[in-house]
Chains A and B, each alone.
Chain A
């Protein structure tokens, strides 16, 4: 009888130990799952972003390749503007402003299609073939074309055409800027992925809550100017749209280093510190 009681006590104790051990085991596996997802911390951060009411669509993890580019600002547009027909061009500080004598009618729903067909015409715009339509920068009354470079586009007011449309779907005028001799400064290198760029932007606290990532694009933006030369770096350009506003805010991330890029206009030779330029 005594032995039976001892057995019973042992049984109860062991069941208690089992429950305890099982609890520990559970906890451990959870922790491991945590660690696993930490290893995949990118998706963790994206989840965090969604928790902060930031609307993100599917992001690409793919790494791209890009170059450092340079281009020269010169007066080539002025030299070539004589070839333009049906317009009165003016050349002011490296920019060609032109008004059409007879407005050019374009397609109602997709005006870019009509413009694409005319781009190669040297009497319409100078070097038009070197530009491509940039949907993200355009509005219904203002169509922006960016200068192409090494399989991508330059996002800069110094290398674009901006067409102004009237209410009757006609182009009334445009402004054009152009960089000559766009070339790579170094062999191509790997850039960070779209996901990484967005994560860093988020970790720099540059994405407010209650916003939507409208679009992301890998292009080239200006790093600095040295006299007439412009240096461009590959950049993840991210359009952020607040939930209750139609206006889109642009943010830029250096696609090589992951640093955030703020607007700078200064010439390198006037700067004392790199952070003035590349921060």
Chain B
């Protein structure tokens, strides 16, 4: 009797507790449907887009020998930077400390350290971005801005991060760098160009010390259709009704609301404007992260496309396609894709429908490019001001092929960042 009196209240309590527990589990369970949607993405684009660690990778490797002489490692059968990056994936117990700041001597001491490999970004990035290429081993570091990584080839516990702007040197201690595989990279069949890191306009720059032989290339072009981008970019839930207007060379698609896509049929360049509210970011890490998302959404093949420059003033991120480790410059110095944040309600993407895909044997002989110092001397003799030359690098100029619209020629030349624009050395010399 006594037992049956308590039976119902106990059962009720259990039932209540069970229902409460189940409710809590169900509410807190991240059983979201989003992952399902994601996996429905076109598998092709998912596969073809490259990871962040691929796009935000250093673009040049400079080796300093034990006698202090330096050389740029040029890709031939392997991508030198990729091979070096592979040896940087297993760091443990990474710790960072600031060695010096505002001291050119100390900076150059580390940058020109004998027995080391220096990986260069063409534009400063944050340590959070570098963290991507070292398998997230630097994730707890303060987010300094850096643009060079120095890897000693004879010290397995130290590496250095450098910032050109304030000559900061950060020392990272790790357990430990696999020197054997790092040195093995140097034995691969890699072409080298004699070089040296020196100050130019009070900023570090890699000088090419001697005239250099460069091979011109011919490339088969991947010609994307306009429809591909209309369906990818103008697909907005808010507005279904996309209109197209033609104005001379321009074909403008608009959703009458916040998206606009403009094709130029003559240059085959595309501009995509997004007038929806964005986060209006300024910090380099978030700008680059966001820009990468836009890149993936765009769906252009990112084969050999690398981050080239972030302009903090205009908030423009430029990506370029690289050949043999050298960037391609199109007309007006444009690269492959650029993303730009204009303000909190406008973003812009520029890209081209034509992009290099397959290299073709070129019958042209090698081109000889002069050494950096010779280029500067000749430019100054032509009346250009040394202080307006901001950067110089060897690159490939994009030239249409006369025989087929499917082919382009890539012509080696020096590229000079002069008055905030990239010009080829040849075009600068032909002016005036």
Q: Which residues of A contact B (CB under 8 A)?
A: 4, 7-8, 10-11, 14-15, 17-18, 21-22, 24-25, 28, 31-32, 34-35, 38-39, 41, 67-68, 70, 184-189, 192, 196, 199-200, 203, 223-224, 226, 229, 231, 233, 256-258, 268-269, 271, 273-274, 277-278
Instruction: For A278, list chain B residues within 8 Å (CB).
Output: 220, 357-358
Residues 2-33 of chain B, each 1 if its beta carbon lies under 8 Å from chain A, else 0: 00000011011001101100110110010100
Q: Known: A38-B39, A41-B39, A269-B404. Is A185-B359 also a contact (CB below 8 A)? A: yes
Instruction: For A186, list chain B residues within 8 Å (CB).
Output: 323-324, 359
Q: Knowing that A11-B11, A231-B360 are A-B contacts, what are 12 other residue pairs whose CB atoms are under 8 Å apart, sorted by A's residue number?
A: A11-B15, A15-B15, A185-B358, A186-B323, A189-B303, A226-B361, A231-B220, A231-B359, A258-B47, A268-B406, A271-B406, A278-B357
Closest chain B residue, CB of each to CB of A203: B43
Q: Which chain B residues in 161-202 approach chain A with CB under 8 Å?
A: none
Q: Within the assembled complex, what's the spacing in Å between the Cα atoms of A18 and B9?
A: 16
Nearest first, the 9 closest Cβ-Cβ pairs linking A and B are A14-B15, A185-B359, A21-B22, A38-B39, A187-B75, A70-B361, A28-B31, A11-B12, A187-B79
- B297 in the interface (beta carbon within 8 A): no
Instruction: For A4, list chain B residues within 8 Å (CB).
Output: 8
Instruction: For B114, list chain A residues within 8 Å (CB).
Output: none
Residue in B221, B223, B323, B358 whose beta carbon sits within 8 Å of that of A233 in the complex: B358
B358–A223 CB distance below 8 A = yes
Residue in A15, A35, A184, A271 whose beta carbon sits within 8 Å of that of B35 in the complex: A35
Instruction: For A200, list chain B residues within 8 Å (CB).
Output: 43-44
Closest chain B residue, CB of each to CB of A228: B361
Q: Within the assembled complex, what's the spacing in Å between the Cα atoms of A121 and B300?
A: 50
Instruction: For B246, list chain A residues within 8 Å (CB).
Output: none
Instruction: For A231, list chain B residues within 8 Å (CB).
Output: 220, 358-361
How many residues does chain B have at the interface if contact means C-beta atoms less than 8 Å apart? 44
Instruction: For A24, list chain B residues within 8 Å (CB).
Output: 22, 26
Q: Which chain B residues in 371-416 approach chain A with CB under 8 Å?
A: 403-404, 406-407
- B76 in the interface (beta carbon within 8 A): yes
Instruction: For A14, list chain B residues within 8 Å (CB).
Output: 12, 15-16, 18-19
> Which label, helix, strand, loop or mixed, suits the secondary structure of the A interface?
helix
A70–B48 CB distance below 8 A = no
Instruction: For B12, list chain A residues within 8 Å (CB).
Output: 7, 10-11, 14
Residues 222-255 of chain B, each 1 if its beta carbon lies under 8 Å from chain A, else 0: 1100000000000000000000000000000000
Instruction: For A25, list chain B residues within 8 Å (CB).
Output: 22, 25-26
Q: Within the assembled complex, what's the spacing in Å between the Cα atoms of A189 and B221?
A: 18
B222 to chain A, nearest CB (A): 7
B115 to chain A, nearest CB (A): 25
Please list 25 pairs of residues, one from A and one from B, whose beta carbons are closer than 8 Å in the complex, sorted by A's number: A8-B8, A18-B18, A18-B19, A21-B22, A22-B22, A24-B22, A25-B22, A25-B26, A28-B31, A34-B36, A39-B35, A41-B43, A70-B360, A187-B79, A188-B78, A189-B79, A200-B43, A200-B44, A231-B220, A231-B359, A256-B303, A257-B301, A258-B44, A269-B404, A273-B406
- B1 in the interface (beta carbon within 8 A): no
B8–A11 CB distance below 8 A = yes
Instruction: For B76, list chain A residues within 8 Å (CB).
Output: 187
Q: Within the assembled complex, what's the spacing in Å between the Cα atoms of A17 and B404?
A: 72
A38–B26 CB distance below 8 A = no
B78–A187 CB distance below 8 A = yes
Instruction: For A233, list chain B residues within 8 Å (CB).
Output: 358
Q: Within the assembled complex, what's the spacing in Å between the Cα atoms of A187 and B326?
A: 12
- B283 in the interface (beta carbon within 8 A): no
Instruction: For B303, list chain A residues within 8 Å (CB).
Output: 189, 256
Closest chain A residue, CB of each to CB of B325: A187
Q: Within the assembled complex, what's the spacing in Å between the Cα atoms of A31 and B35?
A: 11
Residue in B11, B221, B222, B360 whose beta carbon sits within 8 Å of that of A226 in the complex: B360
A21–B26 CB distance below 8 A = yes
